[in-house]
Chain A
Amino acid sequence: MAYAYLGTSAQVSSTATDDGESVTLDSYSALDAIGNRISTGLSSQAYLLADLHGNVAAAVSPGADPDYLAGFRYDAFGQTVDAYTGGGAPEIPYRFQGRILQSAEGSTDLYDFGARSYDPSLGTFTSFDSVTGSAQNPLTLNRYLYALGNPATMIDPDGHCAYNANTHRLEGSDCSASESAYTDASASWATKMLDSYRYSTCTVTSANLDACYNAYNGEGHWTEDNASHKWFSFRHGQGVGLVGGSPRCTNPLGCIGDLATGTWNGFIGTPGRYIDAAQNAAACIANTLGEGCLTLEGVVDAVQQTAIEMNPLLGPLSKAQQTVDNYSTGHYYDVGDQLGQNLGDAVVMAVTLKIPVSKIIRSFRPGATVAEDAAAEGSQVYRVWGGESGQWGHSWTTIDPMSMANPRDYLGLPAGNGGLYVTQAEVIDSAGVIAREATPLGLRLGGAPELLFPDAVSQLEHVFTYMLDWPL
């Protein structure tokens, strides 16, 4: 199988050799194809569904009762780490970032990213970028680099410039050519990102799948069917679908099928992990990457917000944050505990996604909206203290400070707080408790979720206190 551009169009043809003759099999859009319908004739069709990162995560059949035809899972740089193709899906040329997988099966993956080809095993493009870098952004001076080496946060829609979802800007010294790609209403990633929200009115049931596909100009964006919870899909990172018979999946991270059995089990897919549909830690099923698994609770604040910030396709935090309420549990679930290691969600995410831990943990800050039930009785809270600050002051946080890259920074601790100790306590009385994000203090960024207890001594029950090896 080989792919070639059709003239100057955005179409790519696939060809195969039959008795020495080259036969054109089909043509595809060279652009990403998340949410698109693919086919090899009427007998074999599938809809491509995205994971939270904009990769083709699964294919399902059209019709009133969709079947799970194929599933793919990738690491942050796009290496396929697992796949299920036993469901009879037509050949799916689109994979990582919805891009065409150029290479033949069995050989090293190579993706068409427009201007250049990308090798996910190297994590770099295979040729020099014609767009020059800038000393103002030194990473751009490495002209082989993909998404500035930060593929979890950035994407590279045309092979020239990385797109930063946090700033909503292209990163590079001369991205004028790339910029046109974003402003092209029919093909821009930026526009598509907005489309994720713009199309949120498309209420689709499993019965009118095709109608909705057509209604949205073939962009294949479906929302949840509240009536039957049959299945739904959000385009570009807002999640993928769920089929009937499985528990309802409403997590914005999307639902990915069980690659081992080829069935949808209501698992919620963060990159490389899934979550027990029963929301029961004891029943948590080992995932395909083997780094443990999460219950639904685990997604609530930590991983969910982390992923939202890292995901260039999910857009503003405030939008995604609305769904957090569906999962409020008021505490974090430590993946590391599942592994018997003293690692937090952030560390595991960092390992999985190959990005700095500090980047992940920083994501606690902007997404640190405190759930209303964070101070519910039984919740665990933490306090950093020492120096002028006593143990039973009013300010506490809902996040274990030791899971933060820089607690002093995120908690906005005053200089008078010596940061010598951490106390963990359980809420036994939440009367009059106020929640907020920690305010900036001097150069401290603040942002960590904070709770203010009018009388901590009577409202909290001490769990334990430990002294830090190094003051914060």
Chain B
Amino acid sequence: MDPFPSAAVLEVLARYGINTARRGDNAADPTEEIILVTGEEFERTDVREATLALMKVLPGKKVWVVPDDPNWKSTPI
């Protein structure tokens, strides 16, 4: 399995004005990548566009950009 391309993901997120993000736990399905952002950034970002952009640096993954929530297990990107 390829290592998670943290730098590329952060670069894409930065283009959309997202400066803080975490990676949701995907142990049950490594084909999913969940990017957790703050609620404020989630609200003001075109999430769909950001998701499609992230899919270019996370090929073959089902990518989600979602607001962080206490229910998520996550790690810093």
Contact = CB atoms under 8 A, between A and B. Distances in A.
Interface of A: 385, 388-395, 412-417, 431-432, 434, 436, 438-442, 452, 454-457, 459
Interface size class of B (residues with CB under 8 A): 20 to 34
B48 interface: yes
B75 interface: no
Interface string B56-77: 0000111110110111110000
Given A388-B30, A416-B30, A394 B64 contact: yes
B51 A439 contact: yes
A14 to B, nearest CB: 56
A439 B72 CA distance: 21
Contacts of A390: 27-29
Given A431-B69, A432-B69, A454-B69, A413 B28 contact: no
B24 A393 contact: no
A455 B29 contact: no
Contact of B60 (A414, A438, A459): A414
Given A389-B29, A439-B52, A454-B73, 6 more contacts: A394-B34, A394-B64, A416-B30, A431-B69, A432-B72, A454-B72
A401 B73 CA distance: 28
Contacts of A391: 28
B62 to A, nearest CB: 5
**Which residue, A412, A431, A455, has most C-beta atoms of chain B within 10 A?**
A455
A395 B73 contact: no
Nearest to B28: A390
A91 to B, nearest CB: 54
Given A389-B31, A390-B28, A394-B29, A455 B64 contact: no
A394 B32 CA distance: 8
A439 B28 contact: no
Nearest to A417: B31
